[in-house]
Amino acid sequence: NAGVTQTPKFQVLKTGQSMTLQCAQDMNHEYMSWYRQDPGMGLRLIHYSVGAGITDQGEVPNGYNVSRSTTEDFPLRLLSAAPSQTSVYFCASSPSLTLAADTQYFGPGTRLTVL
């Protein structure tokens, strides 16, 4: 099992550009989520999904879109990048809906810089 994979590892964007951060898991997990990690602020939940076709907003959803067309994939889209979105982005998955935040498995992260 590859676990949770994220691509790319690094990305530099210009203000106003759009892009998609990819996340995939091969563990057949129902729950998936996206976080951003900023110095002094820990991890903040952007969006999450409890299954294919079902997504919901987290703490900081503005400027980001998600979709969940398959169990395996949970891409995060930045519609119009802003410098405030410079961060490290983590994707995570969890096997059980009833233990959704219990034993989350994290990806390696994507470091995004917006100029």
Q: Which stretches of the chain bind another protein, using CB under 8 A?
A: 31, 33, 35, 40-45, 48, 50, 56, 58-59, 90, 92, 97, 100-109
Shortest gap between Cβ of 41 and another protein (angstroms)?
Answer: 6
Residue 44 or 86 with smaller CB distance to another protein = 44
Shortest gap between Cβ of 16 and another protein (angstroms)?
Answer: 30
Residue 15 or 57 with smaller CB distance to another protein = 57
Shortest gap between Cβ of 42 and another protein (angstroms)?
Answer: 4
What does the alpha-carbon distance between residue 38 and residue 69 come to, in Å, rounded to a whole number? Answer: 28
**Helical (H) or strand (E) element with 90:** strand 87-94
What is the 8-class DSSP label of residue 2?
Answer: -
Shortest gap between Cβ of 83 and another protein (angstroms)?
Answer: 21
Residue 35 or 78 with smaller CB distance to another protein = 35
What does the alpha-carbon distance between residue 113 and residue 115 come to, in Å, rounded to a whole number? Answer: 6
Residue 54 or 79 with smaller CB distance to another protein = 54
What does the alpha-carbon distance between residue 61 and residue 33 come to, in Å, rounded to a whole number? Answer: 12
**Helical (H) or strand (E) element with 36:** strand 31-38
Structure tokens belonging to residue 102 = 């219990």
